[in-house]
């Protein structure tokens, strides 16, 4: 079931991030992130209210610090991704940020004692090579012998690190509190952090001059929450070093959607890089 949960999180997150990138271009990355979190939290609240009597809250207070840390890292990672998606191709930013599965796998080996097989080590090499190809302009490197990072790479790396560390940390409360409460509770803290940021910076929760994309944000919230619940369930029943790389292969879904609906075009080096990342993410879970 852990593998199936990873696949479900891949599809839910891939769809959510594609739609979220569109929303960020409409109303800005901060407001897009805030409202998708609101609708995701409301989606989770329906399940919570229906099943509230089945939950045990005794161990929740002890998990609050780690859930707040997860929430803060999630905010940083998501804002990095949306900012990158605003100014660069979604099909470039997504594969870089999706390498968070590599971060989770490495941390799981170090801190949880999980063991990587030979194929998974080879997968790490593929992922790193793919990220390098995605991150630089290969033609310019060959011509000018000068490395320039492509637009959106820095934000993609920030998202990768933020998602990787936070989703590794999510393993601990998921094993103690089961699959639902951790993913639901840390989202509450995400909303608090984002509300404080919005009140201190842009000072409005609604776009000033653009129509509010209600249906789009609602769909993002539902998909994103479903992705986290699937992931949380997966790591509560299976090794995180297996579930995380599968879930992080959402890059395949997002890139394909960008190719179909936005007609984004990539250079050969980027295509090879994406193939490397995707193959690595799949291989690391076998």
Q: Distance between CA 51 and CA 59 in Å, rounded? A: 18
Reply yes or no on whether the pLDDT at 144 is more than 60. no
Please answer whether residues 152 and 88 qualify as being in contact, where contact means their C-beta atoms are separated by less than 8 angstroms: yes
**Residue 143: pLDDT band with limits 50, 70, 90:** low
Please state the pTM of the whole predicted model. Answer: 0.82
Q: With the CA atoms of 38, 246, 239 and 71 taken in that order, what torsion angle do they form, in degrees rounded to the nearest 10?
A: -20
Residue 137 token pair: 């302009």
Strand partners, 149: 136
Q: Where are the domains of the chain?
A: 2-47+60-283
Over the Cα atoms of the chain, what is R_g?
18
Q: Distance between CA 150 and CA 137 in Å, rounded? A: 6
Reply yes or no on whether the pLDDT at 149 is more than 60. no
Centroid of chain to Cα 169:
14
Most confident of 110-114, 139-143, 278-282: 110-114
Residue 200 token pair: 């201190």
Lowest average pLDDT, out of 35-44, 119-128, 140-149, 193-202, goes to 140-149
Sign of the dihedral through C-alpha 173, 174, 178, 180: positive
Please answer whether residues 36 and 217 qualify as being in contact, where contact means their C-beta atoms are separated by less than 8 angstroms: yes
**Residue 27: pLDDT band with limits 50, 70, 90:** confident
* Angular region, 105: left φ>0, alpha ψ -120 to 50, beta rest: alpha
> Which residue is it, tokens 């890059």?
251
């Amino acid at each position: 079931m852990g593998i199936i949960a990873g696949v479900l999180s891949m599809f839910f997150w891939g769809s959510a991030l594609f739609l979220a990138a569109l929303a960020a271009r409409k109303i800005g990355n901060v407001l897009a992130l805030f409202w998708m979190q609101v609708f995701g939290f409301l989606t989770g609240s329906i399940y919570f209210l229906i099943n509230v009597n089945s939950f045990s809250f005794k161990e929740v207070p002890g998990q609050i610090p780690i859930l707040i840390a997860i929430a803060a890292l999630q905010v940083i990672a998501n804002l990095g991704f949306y900012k990158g998606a605003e100014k660069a191709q979604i099909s470039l930013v997504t594969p870089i940020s999706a390498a968070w599965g590599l971060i989770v796998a490495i941390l799981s080996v170090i801190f949880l004692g999980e063991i990587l097989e030979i194929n998974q080590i080879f997968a790490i090499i593929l992922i790193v090579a793919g990220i390098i190809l995605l991150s630089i302009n290969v033609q310019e490197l060959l011509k000018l012998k000068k490395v320039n990072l492509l637009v959106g790479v820095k934000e993609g790396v920030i998202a990768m690190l933020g998602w990787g560390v936070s989703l590794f940390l999510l393993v601990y409360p998921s094993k103690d509190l089961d699959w639902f409460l951790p993913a639901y509770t840390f989202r509450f803290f995400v909303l608090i952090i984002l509300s404080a940021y919005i009140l201190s910076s842009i000072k409005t929760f609604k776009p000033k001059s653009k129509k509010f994309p209600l249906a789009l944000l609602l769909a993002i919230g539902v998909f994103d929450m479903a992705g986290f619940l699937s992931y949380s369930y997966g790591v509560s029943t299976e090794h995180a070093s297996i579930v995380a790389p599968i879930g992080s292969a959402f890059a395949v879904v997002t890139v394909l959607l960008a190719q179909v609906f936005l007609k984004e075009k990539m250079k050969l080096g980027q295509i090879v890089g994406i193939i490397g990342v995707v193959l690595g993410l799949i291989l690391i879970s076998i």
